[in-house]
Chain A
Amino acid sequence: MTALVIRGGHLIDPAAGMDAAKDILLKDGRVAEIAGPGKLKHTEGATVVDAKGLTVAPGLIDIHVHLREPGQGYKETIATGTAAAAAGGFTAVAAMPNTTPVNDSPEITRWMQAPERGAQVRVFPIGAATRGSKGETINDFAALKSAGAVAVTDDGRPILKDNIMRETLAAAARVGLTVIQHAEDTRLTQGASMNLGPASFRLGLRGMPPEAEYGLVERDIRLVSELRDTHAHLHVAHTSTAAAVAAVRQARRNGLRVTCEVAPHHFLLTEEHVGLYNTHAKMNPPLRSAADRDAMIEGILDGVVDAIATDHAPHAQHEKEMEFEHAPNGITGLETALGLCLRWLHKEWHLPLGRVLSLLSAQPAALLNLKGRGTLAVGSYADVVIFDPKAEWTYRAVETKSKAKNTPFDGWEMLGKVRWTICEGRVTYTNPA
């Protein structure tokens, strides 16, 4: 494999406490050497990447994406979804199991990682917690883990039965896997298509009450606390309500292994962005109240939120051109995450750049125990994003690498333009200035 030298850039590696002008040598898919500007020793024959004026950081990691394969290739494929990931600066994504069929087996888990899928970034499958994600029979987590699964979840079909969730947490803890819960008590959200509030009443749409989320988060935390001795790890997916973040904060104070992620749309948008039935503002969990949105920002600023994850959920155009209540949930997010985080978390709300990058790389890597990723320390995987931190640009959904254009951020101003994405030493995206 050819060697790459990244020269003249400013390296920010929060996990290594690095924030300085450095040159980097990538060799055989790993970080081989880091040195001051012009000080690298073994650069003979290496291809040079000129990173002058650019920020060099660990490749971004999105622990919540839907790549739609197997079975729903008309929405997205692993190849197109990961191409969008690379364009967004991501070098690894964790793929949810709500495919067709559900990824509840080592065979599908391996199929998703096969070279034939044409992935542009590293794909880490997340296995289904129960057979067919039906919430009844727990899968063989050891087998899923050895096939490459990095966590288990039933995602959009959350585990409601206490005993099944308790068993899932215990079984996952035994093999060292995280349990991710999409916290939604679906008994309270039948037929609902947005947040329950004044806007849903005005629009004549059935609403999802916030307690459908935080009620289940509180139930899960209670189960984790009962299993304290097993070191069970609960990760709350796409937290959207103030009460859910508060519950996670309290659980952590009590010493429990409970973590959470927030999606950019939940710290930027509110139920008012549904406007007049914009299906690109329909997702699950739904856009919430302004107070909830502010609580997501506060949770990110004060550190209780462990990761930014996009919940990239591509859909075909005709599926979103439907009556609001019939349109599927979800929006794309891989290409807009960094630009929105820098524009809002960093520039607007003054979260230091290193912490923004940590939420997008080091912390998600730690959450799912992705060894050698989320950092550029010597010996780590050569997963790198190189971006212009000053570049302001406008996102255009028509230019996406994804198959899908279902985003509420079309036409939004972004800060920070990805110039190079390098995954395990291979350049997977370039966009020179």
Chain B
Amino acid sequence: MNPQPRRRTLHTPAPPASPFPYHPGSLLSILDLKVEDVGRLLARATELEKQDPLKRDRILSKRRIALLFYESSTRTRTSFELAAKALGADTTLVSNLSSSIEKGESLKDTGLTLRALGAEAIILRHNSSGSAWLLEEFARLPVLNAGDGMHEHPTQALLDLRTILAHLRPKVREVSADTLTGVTVTIVGDILHSRVARSNMLLLPRLGARVLLCGPKELLPELAAEIGPGVQIERDFEKAMRESQAIMMLRIQAERLSGLQLDLEEYKAHYQLTGQRLAAHAPKAIVMHPGPIIRGMEITAGVADGVQSTILEQVTNGVAIRMAVVERALTAGEGGRA
């Protein structure tokens, strides 16, 4: 007598579209960029890198950029700051430990305050996933996501892509959806807590690469592979290495483990990148790491310093990429948001 469930024919409310219009200069997620945008940023990074520093520093002369950092950082903070200064911008650093954030000021109020101080863009590093969207919504300024919790780190994915291209596609001048066809990149380790992994697995397949995720179940849940096309799980590190042209090692993020118990000796036995493993299974692959590296943990000193390592090159690429991204932030959609 009761109506039978009609699962297949149930019409249900659609999930919402994007909640508010972003500033065209913002970079919150790597998905904000189309493949053409990625190509444009890579090309611009190279141009800016080659440009005469005395001319380059007129591009954003005296423009104001705030670096808002709720987490410690060496590479990201310094390279964003050097990039902004190389273009002539004034930068100011606000960190959670030496500001009113310590007194309980909210992210919203901090953003409004920076705006009132004349900031024209905010570069945000924050320990909560999604914080960049919150700041964007209230500060109504271009926001560059320099890492939000476990979520994304889009400029890292761009600099990683630049590194991969330099080694594996040195002749390519313009990227497209098949630039990395035939390339396999393995990301190894603490995928669950890694914003670098998420941004890379969302970017690299759109250029044709295959991404293999490798790590123990506690740090790499099965559903990670559902994030998008071109992403697969391969728990056998050595098998993944044999198929890879690039191996991206990740640090175990002790600060985000949140009570998770991990047997580090067993972890090392399965997933540490040693010279022996590298020579046996991927003697030609490049070895990447977003840093900070913990020598003797996920990677041995010999591999980190070895000829296959691109770790410091990635750092250098960070400055070039961030010049292009900072320039875009302050020049995209001149005239402000609609």
Chain A residues near B2 (CB-CB < 8 A): 301-303
* Given A191-B258, A301-B2, A201-B221 contact (CB < 8 Å): yes
Tell me, yes or no, whether A321 is within 8 Å of chain B by CB.
Answer: yes
List the B residue with the shortest CB-CB distance to A343: B13
Instruction: Tell me which of A51-59, A101-109, A265-273 binds B.
Output: A265-273
Q: State A306–B16 Cα separation when bound (angstroms).
A: 30
* Given A198-B223, A202-B227, A322-B106, A277-B150 contact (CB < 8 Å): no
* Given A298-B7, A301-B3, A323-B131, A204-B15 contact (CB < 8 Å): no
- A201, A276, A301: the one contacting B133 at CB < 8 Å is A276
Chain B residues near A349 (CB-CB < 8 A): 10
Chain B residues near A318 (CB-CB < 8 A): 106
Residue contact A272 to B129, C-beta cutoff 8 Å: no
Residue contact A324 to B5, C-beta cutoff 8 Å: no
* Given A203-B129, A204-B151, A273-B16, A323-B227 contact (CB < 8 Å): no
* Given A206-B258, A275-B19, A298-B130 contact (CB < 8 Å): no
Q: How far is the CB of A331 from chain B (nearest CB, A)?
A: 14
Contact mask for chain A residues 324-337; partner B; CB cutoff 8 A; 1 contact, 0 none: 11100000000000
Chain B residues near A298 (CB-CB < 8 A): 5, 7
- A190, A204, A268, A273: the one contacting B195 at CB < 8 Å is A204
* Given A269-B13, A275-B15, A321-B138, A197-B223 contact (CB < 8 Å): yes
Tell me, yes or no, whether A229 is within 8 Å of chain B by CB.
Answer: no
B residues 126-151 near A (Cβ < 8 Å) are 126, 128-131, 133-134, 138, 148-151
Tell me, yes or no, whether B224 is within 8 Å of chain A by CB.
Answer: yes
Q: State A272–B226 Cα separation when bound (angstroms).
A: 14
Q: Which residue, of A276, A293, A321, A325, has the highest number of chain B Cβ atoms within 10 A?
A: A276
Q: State A298–B6 Cα separation when bound (angstroms).
A: 8
B residues 276-303 near A (Cβ < 8 Å) are none
A residues 336-382 near B (Cβ < 8 Å) are 344, 348-351
Chain B residues near A294 (CB-CB < 8 A): 5, 7, 10, 12
- A201, A269, A348, A350: the one contacting B226 at CB < 8 Å is A201
Residue contact A201 to B223, C-beta cutoff 8 Å: yes
Q: State A131–B262 Cα separation when bound (angstroms).
A: 37
List the B residue with the shortest CB-CB distance to A275: B16
Q: State A276–B19 Cα separation when bound (angstroms).
A: 8
Residue contact A270 to B259, C-beta cutoff 8 Å: no
Tell me, yes or no, whether B74 is within 8 Å of chain A by CB.
Answer: no
Tell me, yes or no, whether B101 is within 8 Å of chain A by CB.
Answer: no
Q: How far is the CB of B253 from chain A (nearest CB, A)?
A: 12
* Given A204-B195, A301-B5, A322-B134 contact (CB < 8 Å): yes
Q: State A203–B226 Cα separation when bound (angstroms).
A: 12
- A191, A201, A290, A301: the one contacting B224 at CB < 8 Å is A201
Contact mask for chain A residues 195-233; partner B; CB cutoff 8 A; 1 contact, 0 none: 001100111111000000000000000000000000000
Q: State A197–B227 Cα separation when bound (angstroms).
A: 10
Chain A residues near B107 (CB-CB < 8 A): 322-323
Tell me, yes or no, whether A400 is within 8 Å of chain B by CB.
Answer: no
- A197, A273, A277, A303: the one contacting B129 at CB < 8 Å is A277
Residue contact B134 to A277, C-beta cutoff 8 Å: yes
Tell me, yes or no, whether B103 is within 8 Å of chain A by CB.
Answer: no
Q: State A227–B295 Cα separation when bound (angstroms).
A: 58
Tell me, yes or no, whether A256 is within 8 Å of chain B by CB.
Answer: no
B residues 25-51 near A (Cβ < 8 Å) are none
List the B residue with the shortest CB-CB distance to A271: B15
List the A residue with the shortest CB-CB distance to B202: A202
How many residues in A have their beta carbons less than 8 Å from beta carbons of B?
40
Chain A residues near B221 (CB-CB < 8 A): 201
Q: State A125–B127 Cα separation when bound (angstroms).
A: 40
Chain A residues near B3 (CB-CB < 8 A): 301-302, 350-351
Q: State A215–B150 Cα separation when bound (angstroms).
A: 28
B contact face: mostly helix, strand, loop, or mixed:
loop
Contact mask for chain B residues 232-263; partner A; CB cutoff 8 A; 1 contact, 0 none: 00000000000000000000000000110000
Tell me, yes or no, whether B77 is within 8 Å of chain A by CB.
Answer: no
Chain B residues near A272 (CB-CB < 8 A): 15
Q: State A34–B192 Cα separation when bound (angstroms).
A: 64
List the B residue with the shortest CB-CB distance to A302: B2
Q: How far is the CB of A209 from chain B (nearest CB, A)?
A: 11
Q: Which residue, of B11, B128, B133, has the highest number of chain A Cβ atoms within 10 A?
A: B128
Q: How far is the CB of B216 from chain A (nearest CB, A)?
A: 16
Q: How far is the CB of B14 from chain A (nearest CB, A)?
A: 9
- B126, B195, B259: the one contacting A323 at CB < 8 Å is B126
Tell me, yes or no, whether B115 is within 8 Å of chain A by CB.
Answer: no
Q: State A142–B241 Cα separation when bound (angstroms).
A: 67
Tell me, yes or no, whether A24 is within 8 Å of chain B by CB.
Answer: no
Tell me, yes or no, whether B18 is within 8 Å of chain A by CB.
Answer: yes
Q: State A378–B139 Cα separation when bound (angstroms).
A: 59
Q: State A242–B133 Cα separation when bound (angstroms).
A: 32
* Given A277-B134, A323-B107, A204-B150 contact (CB < 8 Å): yes
Residue contact A324 to B12, C-beta cutoff 8 Å: no
- B10, B133, B195, B223: the one contacting A277 at CB < 8 Å is B133
Q: How far is the CB of A405 from chain B (nearest CB, A)?
A: 15
A residues 311-325 near B (Cβ < 8 Å) are 318, 321-325
List the A residue with the shortest CB-CB distance to B151: A204
Tell me, yes or no, whether B85 is within 8 Å of chain A by CB.
Answer: no
Q: How far is the CB of B1 from chain A (nearest CB, A)?
A: 10
Tell me, yes or no, whether A79 is within 8 Å of chain B by CB.
Answer: no
- A198, A273, A326, A351: the one contacting B128 at CB < 8 Å is A326
Q: State A348–B227 Cα separation when bound (angstroms).
A: 32
Chain A residues near B15 (CB-CB < 8 A): 270, 272-273, 275
Contact mask for chain A residues 241-275; partner B; CB cutoff 8 A; 1 contact, 0 none: 00000000000000000000000000011101101
Tell me, yes or no, whether A297 is within 8 Å of chain B by CB.
Answer: yes
Residue contact B258 to A277, C-beta cutoff 8 Å: no
* Given A190-B258, A298-B5, A325-B128 contact (CB < 8 Å): yes
Q: State A298–B133 Cα separation when bound (angstroms).
A: 36
Tell me, yes or no, whether B108 is within 8 Å of chain A by CB.
Answer: yes
Chain B residues near A290 (CB-CB < 8 A): 12
List the B residue with the shortest CB-CB distance to A205: B129
- Which residues does A use to contact B, with CB under 8 Å? 190-191, 197-198, 201-206, 268-270, 272-273, 275-278, 290, 293-294, 297-298, 301-303, 318, 321-326, 344, 348-351, 412
The 9 closest A-B pairs by CB, nearest first: A204-B151, A277-B130, A204-B150, A323-B128, A204-B129, A298-B5, A272-B15, A198-B226, A324-B130
A-B contact pairs, 11 of them (CB 8 A): A198-B223, A204-B149, A204-B198, A205-B129, A269-B13, A297-B5, A302-B3, A302-B5, A323-B134, A325-B130, A348-B11
Contacts A301-B3, A321-B108 known; list 5 others, CB within 8 Å: A198-B226, A203-B129, A203-B151, A205-B151, A276-B18
